[in-house]
Amino acid sequence: MKILPTIYITLLSTTAAFAPPPSSRTFNTLHSTTEAAIASTANDEVNPGDRDILVRCASGKQVERTPVWLMRQAGRYMAAFRQYSDKYPFRERSETPSMAIELSLQCHRAYGMDGIIMFSDILTPLPTLGIDFDVVKGIGPVITTEVRNVEDVKKLKDAESVNFDETLPFIREILTSLAKEAEDANTSLIGFVGAPFTLAAYTIEGKSSKHCLRTKEMMMADENGSSKAMSLFLDKLAAMIGNYGCHQIECGAQVIQVFESWAHQLSPRQFEEFAKPASQKAIRIMKEKYPDVPVIYFANGGSSYLELQRDMGADMIAVDWSVDMAQARKILGPDIPISGNIDPTILFGTKEQIEQAVRDCIDKAGGPGKHLLNLGHGVMQGTPEEAVGWLVDECKRYRGKEA
């Protein structure tokens, strides 16, 4: 990352520089500010929030109503967010505490989701192993460190001795502040990590990839016994990610979501052989140290092998939008807490369509309070801002078919 000139950093750290931009204030007034939320509670419409409803739900408890947060809820669809994303490159935004904190909070101030998620990226911890990356506008993440063979893996830093406060000092600062903000806002704080396979594939390919051919070749070489580079790399990543999740918990995260963002690249067999054991290891590290902190596992594009996800060791399985919620519930069985899975493009529909999609999803998951509502993928760029508010409000308001 480019080092910022001191003057610049000083400027960024002042609170004044990070007051919500005027446009978001205007918008807030028009939509669901805290005041609006409280006002509508008065006529029994929208619940004001609840410090731990999301945490209790992710732990598998039945709750009073269905809680909700959205993947990529802090994103470019918000004008207030674009005021930063248009100006500052990704790593600067996510690694400068004052900015990352502000970007994490904007959506909660506007829509009152049941959780605040740290604004960061799944690639953020890669430098702790000596893997360098940048996020280039128009291209996405670019990783310059080559990892192709056993030698390359052995050259990486030891996963067990990573000191996250030294290598990623901003994480503690961001999460400590957000923990306080979440408490004041009567909501939960969500942390997250990328799953080992996804981080391995990103590194091996060096950037977004349509087919992940190099990664697949490495998996095949692993299978025929000609090189153990893939399993060694996954094992190292799993240890680092498990420890990184623990670090986030120690800094205040109350729930951890594991993102297997590239699960769509995997056949069921490849998932079972490579991605799954590595994710299980990362999750086990977190659960052994912090058994009471729920872990949610999300495999994007992994709903075609949902039956293989029953024993991830996570407390909750989040599903993508390509499976019907009732079907997902059936495949996972009644005992596995579930999250998901509205198609994000619904947010481009009418208010009625959005509200109907929320009610359908809740009904299919077993009724209010029986699952954690989310989209089946991140909020898309260009999503109308008010649509996100309609979705959140309807989820909090809905009392079920009988009601």
Ligand X SMILES: *[C@@H]1O[C@H](CO)[C@@H](O)[C@H](O)[C@H]1NC(C)=O
134 vs 152, which CB is nearer to ligand X? 152
CB of 276 to ligand X, least distance (A): 21
Determine the size of the site formed for ligand X (CB under 6 A): 11
Q: Which of residues 184-203 bind ligand X (CB under 6 A)?
A: 186
User: For residue 150, how many other CB atoms are within 10 A of its CB?
Assistant: 13
Residue selected from 11, 14, 48, 140 as contacting ligand X according to rule CB under 6 A: 48
Cα–Cα dist 342/347, whole Å: 9
230 vs 388, which CB is nearer to ligand X? 230
Q: Using the rule CB under 6 A, give the single segment among 3-11, 41-49, 301-309, 320-328 that binds ligand X.
A: 41-49
CB of 188 to ligand X, least distance (A): 11
Q: Using the rule CB under 6 A, give the single segment among 13-21, 30-38, 49-57, 92-100 that binds ligand X.
A: 49-57
CB of 220 to ligand X, least distance (A): 4
Residue selected from 27, 37, 49, 93 as contacting ligand X according to rule CB under 6 A: 49
Q: Which of residues 167-186 bind ligand X (CB under 6 A)?
A: 186
Backbone angles phi, psi at 346, to 5 degrees: -55, -30
Nearest alpha-carbon partner for 244 in 167, 308, 178, 142 = 167
384 forms part of the interface with ligand X (CB under 6 A): no
C-alpha of 50 from chain center: 20
Cα–Cα dist 86/9, whole Å: 18
In terms of residues, how long is the chain? Answer: 403
User: For residue 315, how many other CB atoms are within 10 A of its CB?
Assistant: 22
CB of 200 to ligand X, least distance (A): 16
Residue selected from 51, 284, 289, 399 as contacting ligand X according to rule CB under 6 A: 51
Residues 208-237, one symbol each (x = binds ligand X by CB under 6 A, - = not), give ---------x--xx--x-x-----------
48 vs 333, which CB is nearer to ligand X? 48
CB of 359 to ligand X, least distance (A): 21
65 vs 72, which CB is nearer to ligand X? 65
Q: Which of residues 67-86 bind ligand X (CB under 6 A)?
A: none
145 vs 186, which CB is nearer to ligand X? 186
139 vs 220, which CB is nearer to ligand X? 220
135 vs 221, which CB is nearer to ligand X? 221
45 vs 132, which CB is nearer to ligand X? 45
CB of 354 to ligand X, least distance (A): 23
Q: Using the rule CB under 6 A, give the single segment among 47-55, 105-113, 236-244, 354-362 that binds ligand X.
A: 47-55
- List Cβ<8 Å contacts ≥24 apart for 85-90: 89/135, 89/137, 90/121, 90/135
Residue selected from 46, 50, 91, 287 as contacting ligand X according to rule CB under 6 A: 50
Nearest alpha-carbon partner for 193 in 179, 217, 175 = 175
- Amino acid occupying residue 106: Q
Nearest alpha-carbon partner for 306 in 322, 335, 328 = 328
Residue selected from 28, 47, 66, 339 as contacting ligand X according to rule CB under 6 A: 47
CB of 225 to ligand X, least distance (A): 7
11 vs 38, which CB is nearer to ligand X? 38
Cα–Cα dist 149/151, whole Å: 5
Q: Do residues 164 and 129 touch, judged by C-beta distance below 8 A?
A: no
- Give the interface with ligand X as residue ranges (CB under 6 A): 47-51, 186, 217, 220-221, 224, 226
